[in-house]
Amino acid sequence: MATGKIRYWAAAKDAAGVAEESFDAVTLGELMTKITRDRDELARVVLRCSFLVDGSPVGKRAHDQVVLADGSVVEVLPPFAGG
């Protein structure tokens, strides 16, 4: 089980009610399940989000295939307007 920090930005921050929090999870998929449990608004927001894990974009990879290392930082990035 990896431990790390998840950071929320913009609408994800508003929906989570915090800017960041600690986590323990093996994969990004497991982390998404944990952070959205009993947080319906955050669950809706993260469906539209992109993610960075330790500064690298997750892209279209399946979240259950993205393994988190101990000390990882996960960034939750809602779509931003503009270019």
- According to DSSP, the β-strands at 2-8 and 72-77 are parallel
The yes-or-no verdict on residue 81 having pLDDT over 80 is no
Q: What percent of the chain has pLDDT over 90?
A: 93
Distances (CA, A) of 17 to 34, 63, 71, 81: 15, 23, 22, 22
How many whole angstroms separate alpha carbon 43 and alpha carbon 39?
6
The pLDDT, as a whole number, for residue 83 is 46
The pLDDT, as a whole number, for residue 50 is 96
Distances (CA, A) of 27 to 20, 40, 61, 66: 18, 21, 12, 5
| Domains in the chain: ranges and CATH | 2-77 (3.10.20.30)
